[in-house]
Amino acid sequence: MAAKNHGEAAPRHGWMTNPRSRADIHFNGGWPSNGLEAGKFFPAAQVGLPDPDAPGDVRSGPKPVPPDGKIASGGSEPAGAVLDEVRNWPKVDLPSGTEVPFQWNFSQKHRTRRYNYFVTREGWDPSAPLSRAQFEPEPFATYKPYGDIKFEDMPDASNDPHLSKPHSVKLPQRSGYHVILGVWEVADTGHAFYQVIDVNFTR
């Protein structure tokens, strides 16, 4: 599907393809899997926040960070709202505590500040909607392709093959069913892209 301009109906940018996210599985890689866009700096709820590591980046907003119950969809309604439903979602088997390549696919690239990965707490409740209280408050892994350099010094994202390469993520120690939340935070806008992976952790 060709990328569209901001004024058109279907947003676009990127989504997780490995391990396959809920959006990738449900929408088979099509719209709206690549447009689950909202404010950055999850789990913070405010807009207008500066990046603590790179204060020259565009501040968060104007879209807010997804509210509780709408995290899987990135608050994208109505098209993405199905992703927030509590149901028996297909699960990806992953070996607990090992390093796994994580891959994002892009319909439009952005200068990237970081990818943050959160996991549900031990004893979380799969029968309840995803909320901040369901996740650990800090990411278990963070990947910064360019460290803390100024976003204007990053390569032109549209021609940067580095962004299309997988990055290695050390998985947390878990067993059974958990959810991983991946947040792709960009430097040159106030937004991020939200993806969740339903995981069956094996040991």
Instruction: Report how far residue 121's alpha carbon sits from residue 113's, in angstroms, rounded to the nearest whole number.
Output: 26
Instruction: Report how far residue 46's alpha carbon sits from residue 106's, in angstroms, rounded to the nearest whole number.
Output: 27
**Stretch 172-200: mean pLDDT, rounded?**
97
User: pLDDT tens digits, residue range 4-44?
Assistant: 333 333 445 889 999 999 999 999 877 888 889 999 999 99
On average, the pLDDT of the chain sits at 91
Please indicate whether residue 98 or residue 110 has the higher confidence score (pLDDT). Answer: 98
User: Quick one: pLDDT at residue 12?
Assistant: 59
DSSP-derived letter for residue 135 is B
Fold of 14-202: Coagulation Factor XIII; Chain A, domain 1 (2.70.50)
**Stretch 107-112: mean pLDDT, rounded?**
86
User: Quick one: pLDDT at residue 23?
Assistant: 95
Burial class (CB in 10 A: 0-12, 13-18, 19+), 188: middle
Say if CB 194 and CB 72 are below 8 A apart.
yes
Share of the chain above pLDDT 70, in %: 94
User: pLDDT tens digits, residue range 118-172?
Assistant: 999 999 999 999 999 999 999 999 999 999 999 999 998 888 877 889 999 999 9
pLDDT band of residue 99 (cuts 50, 70, 90) is very high
